[in-house]
Amino acid sequence: MKQIRSSDFCLVVISENYLKSINCMFEVTEFLKDDNYKDRILPLVQKDANVFDINGKNIYIKFWQDKFDELNASMSQLGELNRVESINELKKIENIQRNIGEFLSVISEMNTIIFDNEIDVTDFTKIYSIVNPNDSFLEEHADVDGYFVLNVPRTLISKVFTWWAKESKGYTLELNNAKVFTKNEIDQRVQDEVPQKFEWFCKKFAAIPINELAVKLGQNYIPYDHRFLDILHKHRDLIVGNKDIYLTEEEIGRYG
């Protein structure tokens, strides 16, 4: 289990049983020792695990607190020579007790995949696209002189980049299903907007140039987090529309 710290990427399948298992939570405490663990972890959270609510988090924190107190009390009934195994177990529980609050807070703030009883094909596709950049897709679009259009309110709500889909069929979370707009189409769209609607267009949408910027994102399914936002912000002069990819809560309600 200590080798988990040397892994490139870690999928953590989180259920109620996982959060109450000494061995599983020991894995977590080993992983938390690395400064960059947030960049190497993808949480898959079972819906019933209840890790996003403060009351749910407190249940798990209290579980390990009670576990520590229970084992500590039972050790008083053992002779000194018979306490070795219990002491080692108690150290693990103490470490879990110290770190579980931080772990649950981090999980609740990260991009996660929520599943019911089983991880289905759709979930697996998302996992694969996050862990493995879609090289063939990027190669196909490396020389495309056009734009993908990002819907900013939907992106902020779903925490995943949400694009205009091909053939005007709504929206998609997958870049390879996004519609390609020519530069003329984007320019014409901007020119055609009347002043009252121009602010709406510039707030709600961001047109991302494909060959200059979109391929730099490096993958097909893109969580809304600092790694990808940094790429866009560094090249914000290339973006047409909402260059910050951000809205206030009030603006999300107004433009969403």
pLDDT (tens digit, 9 = 90+) per residue, 231-246? 999 999 999 999 999 9
> Which stretch of 6-15, 31-40, 135-144, 182-191 has the lowest confidence by average pLDDT?
135-144
Could you tell me the pTM of the whole model?
A: 0.51
Instruction: Give phi and psi for 23, each to the nearest 5.
Output: -65, -45
User: What pLDDT is stored for residue 231 in this prediction?
Assistant: 92
Show the tokens assigned to 66. 């009670």
Q: Which amino acid is at 73?
A: A
> Which stretch of 75-79, 158-162, 218-222 has the lowest confidence by average pLDDT?
218-222
Show the tokens assigned to 171. 């929206």
pLDDT at 211 over 70: yes
Q: Which residue has the higher pLDDT, 119 or 56?
A: 56
**Rounded to a whole number, what is the distance in angstroms from the first to the last CA of the chain?**
45
Q: pLDDT tens digits, residue range 132-172? A: 655 556 667 777 789 999 999 999 998 889 999 987 779 99
Q: Could you give the CA distance from residue 31 to residue 9 in angstroms, rounded to a whole number?
A: 11
When pLDDT is averaged across residues 199-204 and rounded to a whole number, the result is 78
> Which residues, including other chains, have CB under 8 Å from residue 132's CB and lie 6 or more apart?
219
Q: Could you give the CA distance from residue 114 to residue 116 in angstroms, rounded to a whole number?
A: 7
pLDDT band for position 80 (50/70/90)?
A: confident
Contact predicate 32/99, CB 8 Å: yes
User: What pLDDT is stored for residue 133 in this prediction?
Assistant: 54
Q: pLDDT tens digits, residue range 41-58? A: 888 999 889 888 899 999
Q: Could you give the CA distance from residue 102 to residue 156 in angstroms, rounded to a whole number?
A: 24
Q: Which amino acid is at 72?
A: N
3 state SS for the chain: CHHHHHCCCEEEEECHHHHCCHHHHHHHHHHCCCCCHHHHEEEEEEHHHCCCCHHHHHHHHHHHHHHHHHHHHHHCCCCHHHCHHHHHHHHHHHHHHHHHHHHHHHHHHCCCEEECCCCCHHHHHHHHHHHCCCHHHHHHHCCCCEEEEEEHHHHHHHCECCEEEHHHCCEECEHHHECCEEHHHHHHHHHHCCHHHHHHHHHHEEEEECCCCHHHHCCCECECCHHHHHHHHHCHHHCEECCCCCCCHHHHHHHC
